[in-house]
Chains A and B, each alone.
Chain A
Amino acid sequence: EADIYQTPRYLVIGTGKKITLECSQTMGHDKMYWYQQDPGMELHLIHYSYGVNSTEKGDLSSESTVSRIRTEHFPLTLESARPSHTSQYLCASSHGQGHGYTFGSGTRLTVV
């Protein structure tokens, strides 16, 4: 039973389009994260948030932006998608340091 939801699961769009990947969690977690992952490869942190109105860039440079207006919602936006953005995007949340992450099922993005 998923407590963190990502939509859409799959998205194919054309180059130059603006897209928003949705992520919502019902656990009341303060901390939320966005990771980028190519199939079978390691996770790269692209954005994180420690609470409402708090957002930080992660270890991997990304052209995407995020917002955290509500605790439960952490959307990621690409203003102008490019083929290099093709990847799987995973959203996660956690209660705090030392606690495990709960991941969503991911959004597999393909930019053509």
Chain B
Amino acid sequence: TQLLEQSPQFLSIQEGENLTVYCNSSSVFSSLQWYRQEPGEGPVLLVTVVTGGEVKKLKRLTFQFGDARKDSSLHITAAQPGDTGLYLCAGTGTSYGKLTFGQGTILTVHP
């Protein structure tokens, strides 16, 4: 079973601060995705990265896939209260189409 470890598990910051969430594994993933989930809703896909070393930007969010495709990071610049939520990384390994999810990072941005 391929495991993904996310850190930190909880993050509480003030509006305007920057933050980084990490997703690490000892296994290689063919692709890695980041999701954001709000309370009472299902996760929503933010980005998919497939190439080692790839960097993708989505407004204030920057996603990076490690060169060896074993890790990823999500960086948020100038966080806003609307960024509050549960952030989940998920990787596709050898099982066709099946995702392995990390434990999630609960982000709270205070006004």
Contact among B31, B45, B50, B101 with A42 in the assembled complex (CB-CB below 8 Å): B101
Known interface pairs A42-B102, A42-B103. Does A97 touch B96 (Cβ–Cβ under 8 Å)?
A: yes
Cβ distance B111 to chain A, nearest Cβ, rounded Å: 21
The answer to whether A40 and B106 touch across the interface, beta carbons within 8 angstroms, is yes
How many residues of A are counted as interface, with CB atoms below 8 angstroms from the partner's CB atoms? 26
Where chain A touches its partner, the secondary structure class is loop
Q: Does A66 contact B (CB under 8 A)?
A: no
CB distance from B21 to the nearest CB of A (A): 14
Residues of chain A within 8 A (CB-CB) of B88 are 42-43
Set of chain B residues within 8 Å of A8, measured between Cβ atoms: none
Check A74 for interface membership: any CB of B closer than 8 A.
Answer: no
Judging by beta carbons under 8 Å apart, are B104 and A98 in contact? no
Chain A interface (Cβ < 8 Å from any Cβ of B) = 31, 33, 39-43, 45, 48, 50, 59, 90, 92, 94, 96-106, 108
Other than the given A42-B101, A97-B96, A104-B42, 19 more pairs (CB < 8 A) read: A31-B97, A40-B86, A43-B101, A50-B96, A50-B97, A92-B42, A96-B97, A97-B31, A97-B92, A98-B30, A98-B31, A98-B50, A99-B97, A100-B48, A102-B45, A103-B44, A105-B40, A105-B41, A106-B42
